[in-house]
Amino acid sequence: MFFFSPLLIPALFLGVVLYDFFNSELPPGIEQPLKLRFFHSLMITAMVMVNSKLLIKDLTVDGVPLRIYQPKNPPTGKRRGILYFHGGAGTFGSIRAFERVCRYMAKKCNSVVVSVGYRLAPEHPYPGQYFDCLNATLYFMRNLEEYHVDPGLIIISGDSCGANFATVICQILLNDRDLPKVRAQVLLYPGLQGLDFHLPSYQQNAFVPMLSRKMIIYFCFRYLNRKPTFWKDVLQNCHVPDSMRQQYKKWVSADLIPDEFKVRGYVPPKPAAYKPEVHEAVKEILAATFSPLLAEDSIICQLPESYIATCEFDVLRDDGLLYKKRLEENGVQVTWYHCKNGFHGILAFFGYGFFSFLSANKIMDSIVNYINSL
């Protein structure tokens, strides 16, 4: 799951304003140059935020804020519909933080994008986030005509914990035959399991920003609204019964990660002893909602075509690799994009000019190309 400070976005806006403030050229003698620089900078920021090519509507469904992005030009036919669940460890993040990502998809894919502002834990207790995302999805699916969306072109997407929500929602919808079938799931550096925190990516990227290995455990406790009493034990996988470890090693194991992803100094760890009291404290993270990677083959084989993006310098990299393997082994078509220079949460910086990362642009272009190919 992915965390970034709620102060990050205002700070980036301030950076844009200051950059323009100090780099715009004004000739000598112009009236009140400081005031002019200031208002020009604000105008630039407003231009970044406002896009004349999109219609944007805010509404609330069952207490959940939604922001809907639609191309302004009249549709020549039915459009794609994209649901987007943002990252933030289930406890941070917002619709605003991923404004640029959603705008970009709406424009470049000529699609209707529904960004879901699910309510955050611990104030809104787990597993309420899944119900919020599900209710938003059901609302959209039941009102496709209003948005000129093709029921055969519905895409469910998200980043980090939002990708976890997208995965779970796709699995839940398999049981509802009265709704349109999801065309594809788009999962961006997803967090999909709480069984093994010793996978190669967890070891190799334990201290890499924006998400360290310790932060993963901290946010698991925060998400569940539990005191992090046993966080060191969970870090050592002491929360997993031996029977469960054996049951799921066919799906979650370092042995299933390709050797090319172990070259950065991976050392197989010694197994730690199971502690029942630790399991009891965090047993929810082993449930099918929190860990959709553990779903049975009978569910996985029914899932829609999938796009998975992983980043090399990300503790969650191997969650994506393992899910890719499971999907492919169950006959699900997977398009995989691996960002060799990327880190977890990189899309939070997308669209901020000087503050953006080239890898984020490449990921977004890959996503757009995939969606446009459907």
As a whole number of angstroms, the distance between CA 71 and CA 316 comes to 34
Residue 305 included in any domain: yes
Q: Is residue 26 a part of any domain in this protein? A: no
- Structural domain that includes position 168: 46-373
Band (pLDDT 50/70/90 cuts) for residue 39 is low
Kindly report the number of other CB atoms within 10 A of residue 200's CB atom: 22
Q: Which one from 314, 318, 319, 359 is the annotated catalytic residue?
A: 314
Q: What is the pLDDT of residues 137-152, one digit of tens each?
A: 999 999 999 999 999 9
20 is catalytic: no
Alpha carbon dihedral 126, 129, 131, 137, in 10-degree steps, equals -170
Q: What pLDDT does 2 receive?
A: 40
Catalytic residue among 86, 239, 279, 344: 344
160 assigned to active site: yes
154 lies in some domain? yes
What are the tens digits of pLDDT across the range 311-328? 999 999 999 999 999 999
Q: Is 152 domain-assigned?
A: yes
Question: Which of these, 133, 129, 141, 89, lies nearest to 115 by C-alpha position?
Answer: 133
Overall domain count for the chain: 1
pLDDT tens digits for 245-288?
A: 999 999 999 999 999 999 998 999 998 999 999 999 999 999 99
**Residue 26 banded pLDDT, cuts 50, 70, 90:** low
Question: What's the CA gap between 307 and 335, in Å, rounded?
Answer: 5
Average pLDDT over residues 29-43: 65
Retrieve residue 341's tokens: 């220079």
pLDDT at position 15 over 60:
no
8 belongs to a structural domain: no
pTM over 0.75: yes
Task: Please identify which of the residues 157, 160, 201, 359 carries the catalytic annotation.
Answer: 160
In a domain, 24, yes or no: no
Tell me which of 102-106, 175-179, 299-303 is least confident. Answer: 175-179
Q: What is the pLDDT of residues 73-106, one digit of tens each?
A: 888 899 999 999 999 999 999 999 999 999 999 9
DSSP 37: H
In a domain, residue 36? The reply is no
Q: Is 124 assigned a catalytic role? A: no
The CATH number for 126's domain is: 3.40.50.1820
**DSSP labels, 284-333:** GGGSTTT-GGG--HHHHTTPPEEEEEEEEE-TTHHHHHHHHHHHHHTT--
The reply to whether 349 falls in a domain is yes
